[in-house]
Amino acid sequence: MTSIDLPLEDQLARYELTGRPVPLKQREAAAFSRVAFAAAHVVADPFADNDPWLTPAIDWERTLAFRHRLWDLGLGVAEAMDTAQRGMGLGWPEARELIHRALAEARGRSGALIACGAGTDHLAPGPDVTIDDILKAYESQIETIEAENGRIILMASRALAAAAKGPGDYIRVYDRILSQIKEPVIIHWLGEMFDPALEGYWGNADHMAAMNTCHAVIEAHAEKVDGIKISLLSKEKEIAMRRRLPKGVRMYTGDDFNYAELIAGDEKGYSDALLGIFDAIAPVASAALEALGEGRNGEFFELLEPTVPLSRHIFKAPTRFYKTGVVFLAYLNGLQDHFVMIGGQQSARSLAHLAELFRLADRAGALADPELAVSRMRRVLAVHGIN
């Protein structure tokens, strides 16, 4: 049996791996009864001669190969989102290149599902930024994506959160954008736990009050809204919003704490998925979605529920550092040859956090090759002075 000594409560403790890896199996999105996007990370280039805190360097070959892996599993790619460190290391110039390359790869495949984030992150928030400036920023990014026939995920705007005087400014911006958009979009409401600069989005710090403004926008433009992704880490708030949506508008769960039960749904409906955790647990998520699509609900929960403790650990506060755990799992699973991130974000979590992530990933069947994972975990331990 494979084992490794891992930090636990200020000492090393032997851990015996017991997990049964979920095998990689090609699937079609049509086999799923839910629409499922994985927000995909980017792979840093460790050989680049750059200042990693200031200048992103991307390994394009590995980054795009990872997207093909998601498509092979039947998952859609949510491109250039916060999982890709958008606005948190990845600037608009790099995001634009990422979107261009990913859309080109998707066009070379049959049925590849992809949607791309459009925001205002090239516009720095400030006291002189006006609502008109924000509109122009949104329109510029949307135009770039629509020029390549890309589908839009309308990202929350830090500049709008800083400039808005109340709900009316949000309504003005979203009314204008949704009136002009070519194809139905996915609106992304990213909570302040993911990005503190977005606190009070929709013009109110109370999420339920903010929901009223968001719902009014969707109600007025239902034909231009494919769905909304809520990332508030509250199943109660997501279900409340889901039950208010106009007919035909999807709820895409962004709840990395409660996704299994939200995707399964209840007698009044269910959530589709647009999740950062699906990047890290893609083979498990794909197998679970196939089981659900075939009516094997028990198997769906047997596969997906063990991943929830792993996800809650990866997304624990400060939640914005979850990307470190996502990339760490990609390294453990051999999907990249290093544990290096743009912006030096591999340092955002402690060794104790990574050790617990390793244990939880094993129990969730999310370590594709346990021996490889152990070998790579030992390298990380050695960097920290543990041999």
Residue 327 three-state SS: helix
Looking at residue 116, its pLDDT comes to 98
**Residue 104's closest CA among 56, 145, 45, 44?**
145
In sequence order, the β-bridge partners of residue 186 are: 153, 227
DSSP 253-300: E--TTTHHHHHH-BTTB--EEEESHHHHTHHHHHHHHHHHHTT-HHHH
Query: Could you tell me which residues come within 8 angstroms of residue 302 by beta carbon, excluding any fewer than 6 positions away?
Result: none
In the predicted structure, residue 54 carries a pLDDT above the cut 90 = no
Query: Could you tell me which residues come within 8 angstroms of residue 326 by beta carbon, excluding any fewer than 6 positions away?
Result: 41, 83, 276, 277, 279, 280, 314
What average pLDDT does the segment 344-368 reach? 97
In the predicted structure, residue 387 carries a pLDDT above the cut 90 = no
**Residue 282's closest CA among 28, 35, 37?**
37
Residue 52 three-state SS: coil
Looking at residue 258, its pLDDT comes to 97
**If 0-12 CB within 10 Å is exposed, 13-18 middle and 19+ buried, where does residue 273 land?**
buried
Global pTM value: 0.96
**Residue 302's closest CA among 314, 312, 290, 313?**
290
Looking at residue 260, its pLDDT comes to 98
In the predicted structure, residue 182 carries a pLDDT above the cut 80 = yes
In the chain, what percentage of residues exceed pLDDT 90?
Answer: 97
**Residue 215's closest CA among 241, 254, 181?**
241
Residue 4 three-state SS: strand
Question: Helix 307-314 and helix 297-304: axis angle, to 10°?
Answer: 40
Evaluate whether 271 touches 253 at the Cβ level (below 8 Å). yes
Instruction: Quick: pLDDT tens for 228-270.
Output: 999 999 999 999 999 999 999 999 999 999 999 999 999 999 9
Instruction: Quick: pLDDT tens for 335-347.
Output: 999 999 999 999 9
Looking at residue 53, its pLDDT comes to 85
Cα dihedral 287, 290, 291, 294 in deg (nearest 10): -160
Q: CA–CA separation, 23 vs 366, rounded Å?
A: 9
Residue 84 banded pLDDT, cuts 50, 70, 90 = very high
**Residue 116's closest CA among 161, 88, 163, 83?**
83
What average pLDDT does the segment 151-173 reach? 98
Q: CA–CA separation, 193 vs 1, rounded Å?
A: 39
**E strand or H helix at 189:** strand 185-190
In the predicted structure, residue 1 carries a pLDDT above the cut 90 = no
Domains of the chain: residue spans and CATH: 26-351 (3.20.20.70)
Residue 336 three-state SS: coil
CA max distance for the chain: 62
Instruction: Quick: pLDDT tens for 92-116.
Output: 999 999 999 999 999 999 999 999 9
Side-chain-side CA neighbours of 379 within 13 Å: the count stands at 11
Side-chain-side CA neighbours of 180 within 13 Å: the count stands at 15
The structure tokens listed for 186 are 């996915």
**Residue 44's closest CA among 326, 277, 373?**
326
DSSP 105-130: HHHTSSS--EEEEE--TTS---TT--
**Residue 133's closest CA among 100, 166, 169?**
169
Looking at residue 12, its pLDDT comes to 96
Looking at residue 52, its pLDDT comes to 84
Alpha-carbon distances of 297 from 204, 265, 292, rounded to whole Å = 38, 11, 5
